[in-house]
Amino acid sequence: MFYSNVIYLLVVILFFSASSPADRPQLSLLTGLLFFFLKLAAFREAVRFFFRPFRIRKPPHYFDAERKLSILAVAMVAADVYLLDCQYYLARLPLARDLPTLANGAGVLLFFLYLSLMWAGAAEAYGVAFGRRKGRWQAVSGNLKSNLPVVIPWFLISLLSDLLRHLHVPYLSRLLATAWGEGLVLLAFFLLLAVFFPAIMVRMWGCEPLEAGETRRRIEDFCRRQRLAYREILVWPLFEGQVLTAGVIGLVGRFRYLLVTRSLLLAMTPEEIEAVMAHEIGHVKKHHMPLYLLFFLGFGLFAQLASYPLLYLVLNSNLFYTLVDLTSKEPNSALTVASTISMLLLMVVYFRYIFGYFMRNFERQADLHVFAAMGDARPLINVLEKIGYLSGNTRDLPCWHHFSIGQRVDFLERCRKTMACVRHHEGKVRASLLAFVVALLSAGLLLASMPDDLLAGAPREKFAEAVLRQKIRQSPDNFLWFLLLADLQQGRKRYGEAIAAYEKALALSPTNPEIMNNLAWLYLTAEDEEVRDTDQALVLASDAAKLRPTGYILDTLALAYWENGYQQLAIATAQKAMAVDPANAAYYREQLGKFGENSPDGG
């Protein structure tokens, strides 16, 4: 469940970090609260349904119900973000304006609220499945301690990122001003956390040192022969210690911990316990933990690289704007949803298929270390078969981050027959890692060389049009939105749409000189001869100049005179414009040169 919980939390963090608070909520506060509490009630009923007393008998039943409800909790948070606009209210928390991580952290706590309802409602079923009764509060607090360590590093790194924008330390400020400055500082902090945080995790998980005795002595002797540096051997109370599993956490020996559940120690022979340790030592010898960190950092790089092309495709997609019109949703909100869905799909593909591929093959690598540590895989095969049987006949149960127990056993049996299988697998992992590193470096180079104006031009113009049309739907009596839409369409040379928008703006504000001037300019400068109308342009420009004789309006009038054959009036008006607006004298002199040397008919 641990790796699945990490993915769920990453998805929730994505919901909050990839979107921004709406300008105003879609629902009133009271209506939003009503729907929120109705959702809480519905989720509570779902918890009661999935954890019905007769349904949960064994740990696999409990895990299945918890997985389904965790996914439902993720969906509930998505509804809070995109339908109930919870970010609008979270952004009003103290200090949230300067430190957005506080609002995002509060959003993640909202996810834990749903999970807490699940854990509280599952307390009775938990006692049936694992043989230890717990009160509701005890169940909630225990699960929070198990899951919060996943979130704390993200929160600390994000909070540091926010603080760096407000710190004014001379040397640090110069470093942060460079292209990679902030990234290097955050990477250094991330690595420090990776080194020291395991010591905090094992305390939050309630791990206790394995008591002195024959079992501990054998593990210590085995680790000594394998030259493994570690801080402590701990009993892991995961699900009351009844899950048959072990683990190793920590990048360096001083902060590395070997974890093993009590049920595993009781179920295995001394030789089998050594085989379990051989597997965990294999993870250390093959440097899997630092490689896992590399994969998490790699996702950040790939996500940043993919965000620009994805945004380009969305902003340039007619389907996106059709959906915006059909749903009447604000384009900014719709873009946030589209971007989040794109990132969510990327996350699923990356972690489920790329990260999952390496995790499965790393586990197989760790299994193969038993040959180097013990000379034979039979003890580990016995361990795996016991786990499959004692866990409820899970031998052939598939898993996205592990090969099934049956597959692992079959592979170890093949390797016992020929060590060429071991060499082939090692080569496969090395080649895969090389391909990943090449892809990572290529992504970094592409990101560094990507043009800043990738989203300029058509994508930005389409999005601006969608925003303006949404504003028009919200305020159909405001001439400004029609004027801005008309100006945009004129720049895009969509003259028919521009003229229609100018005329609507004029109908709402008949004496507005800005509208008259801009429509006149369109009639004078349109590249489509069928659209040009110099007579109407002269009328509009004359009326605009009477109301507001500024330089740019007089310039339009001068051009209208010239286009209609009134050369002297054009020159006089351009001179007046230059007198009114001396800052742009160079432009008006250029216009005067055109009016003085030529006539519109070529004479």
Task: Examine the pLDDT at 37 and tell me if it is beyond 80.
Answer: yes
Kindly report the number of other CB atoms within 10 A of residue 569's CB atom.
Answer: 17
What are the backbone dihedrals phi and psi of residue 248, each rounded to the nearest 5 degrees, phi first?
-140, 135
Paired with 233 in beta bridges are 258
DSSP track, 206-264: T-EEPPSSHHHHHHHHHHHHTT---SEEEE--GGGGTS--EEEE-SSGGG-EEEE-HHH
Task: Examine the pLDDT at 454 and tell me if it is beyond 70.
Answer: no
Place of tokens 């004014």: 168
Q: Mutual orientation of helices 318-327 and 331-349 as an angle, nearest 10°?
A: 120
Q: Which of 283, 510, 274 lies closest to 374, judged by CA?
A: 274
Q: Is the pTM of this model over 0.75?
A: no
Cβ distance 111 to 9 under 8 Å? yes
Q: Which of 428, 432, 1, 528 lies closest to 247, judged by CA?
A: 1
H/E stretch holding 429: helix 420-449
What is the pLDDT confidence band of residue 459, given thresholds at 50, 70 and 90?
low
Structure-token pair, residue 51: 């954890």
135 CB-near residues (< 8 Å, 6+ apart): 123
Structure-token pair, residue 72: 């439902």
Q: Which of 412, 388, 408 lies closest to 267, judged by CA?
A: 388
The reported pLDDT for the residue numbered 9 is 86
- Look up residue 380 and give its amino acid: L
What are the backbone dihedrals phi and psi of residue 257, each rounded to the nearest 5 degrees, phi first?
-130, 135
The reported pLDDT for the residue numbered 287 is 94
What is the pLDDT confidence band of residue 527, given thresholds at 50, 70 and 90?
confident
Query: Would you put residue 141 in left (φ > 0), alpha (ψ -120 to 50) or beta?
Result: alpha
Q: Which of 463, 510, 514 lies closest to 487, judged by CA?
A: 514
The reported pLDDT for the residue numbered 238 is 81
H/E stretch holding 80: helix 59-82
Q: What is the sign of the dihedral through the CA atoms of 412, 413, 416 and 420?
A: negative
Segment 344-375, tens digit of pLDDT:
888 888 988 999 999 999 999 999 999 999 99
Segment 393-422, tens digit of pLDDT:
677 777 777 888 999 999 999 999 888 999
Question: Helix, strand, or coil here: 27?
Answer: coil
Q: Which of 18, 14, 104, 77 lies closest to 335, judged by CA?
A: 18
Long-range contacts of 598-601 (CB under 8 A, 24+ apart): 599/562, 599/565, 599/567, 600/562, 600/563, 600/564, 600/565, 601/565
d(CA 29, CA 370): 60
Q: Cα angle at 63 between 57 and 66, to 5 degrees? A: 110
| DSSP code at position 582 | G
422 CB-near residues (< 8 Å, 6+ apart): 368, 371, 415
Q: How far apart are the first and last CA of the chain?
A: 85
Place of tokens 């994805």: 310
The reported pLDDT for the residue numbered 282 is 95
Cβ distance 247 to 402 under 8 Å? no
> What is the average per-residue pLDDT within 41-47?
94
d(CA 201, CA 193): 11
Task: Examine the pLDDT at 222 and tell me if it is beyond 60.
Answer: yes
Cβ distance 223 to 281 under 8 Å? yes
| DSSP code at position 451 | -
- Look up residue 232 and give its amino acid: E
What is the pLDDT confidence band of residue 603, given thresholds at 50, 70 and 90?
very low
Kindly report the number of other CB atoms within 10 A of residue 163's CB atom.
Answer: 12
Mean pLDDT (the chain) is 85
What is the pLDDT confidence band of residue 602, given thresholds at 50, 70 and 90?
very low
Structure-token pair, residue 155: 């929160």
| DSSP code at position 584 | G
Segment 463-492, tens digit of pLDDT:
777 777 777 877 888 888 888 888 888 888
Segment 161-174, tens digit of pLDDT:
888 877 776 666 66
Cβ distance 553 to 567 under 8 Å? no
Alpha-carbon dihedral 353, 354, 356, 359, rounded to 10 degrees: 160
Cβ distance 505 to 482 under 8 Å? yes
196 CB-near residues (< 8 Å, 6+ apart): 255
Diameter of the chain measured on Cα atoms: 111
| Alpha helical stretches, state H, 509-566 | 513-525, 534-547, 551-563
Segment 497-506, tens digit of pLDDT:
999 999 999 9
Q: Which of 462, 131, 130 lies closest to 312, judged by CA?
A: 462
Strand order in the sheet with 246-249: 208-209, 232-235, 257-260, 246-249
Length of the chain: 603
> What is the average per-residue pLDDT within 202-208?
90
d(CA 270, CA 455): 63
- Look up residue 58 and give its amino acid: K
- Look up residue 260 and give its amino acid: V
d(CA 258, CA 245): 11
Q: Mutual orientation of helices 181-204 and 136-164 as an angle, nearest 10°?
A: 160
The reported pLDDT for the residue numbered 597 is 59
